[in-house]
Structure 1
Amino acid sequence: MENVLELLFENAAGRAFRITLNDPKPDLTPAQIQSAMALVLSNDIFDLEAGPYTISGANIITTDTTPIELA
């Protein structure tokens, strides 16, 4: 099973941006995630032509891959 941390940002016009991080620590707290997202915003990495971004949400996405043997 693989885990991905998805960080979601949005501006006032509804334009969304997401950052995905593979294999996040299993014991991350919501406060740690929000703090990291605030750090991203404070470093102005987004194109501000579209307006300032805010934190929209975060998700842990878990996927399970099952290989299929082809004859």
Structure 2
Amino acid sequence: MQFELDITGSEMNEKVAQLIESKPLDEVEPGELLLTLDQVTALENLLNVSFPKGLEYFMGTCATY
């Protein structure tokens, strides 16, 4: 199963980068990052969403041009 959630807005993307990688968005390398349960819970709170339980979650990052 796969679903996608696009995070829009530079301020929110910056908050997510700090939460997941503990660094500014412009220092996050492109790729996929496996999220820990704590990171998923923190993202749910930050984004005000509920993710299905019992799944593995990855955060896809891409380079901006």
TM-score class, shorter: 0.3 to 0.5
Which protein is richer in strand relative to its size? 1
TM-score norm. by structure 2 comes to 0.33
TM-score norm. by structure 1 comes to 0.31
Which protein is richer in helix relative to its size? 2
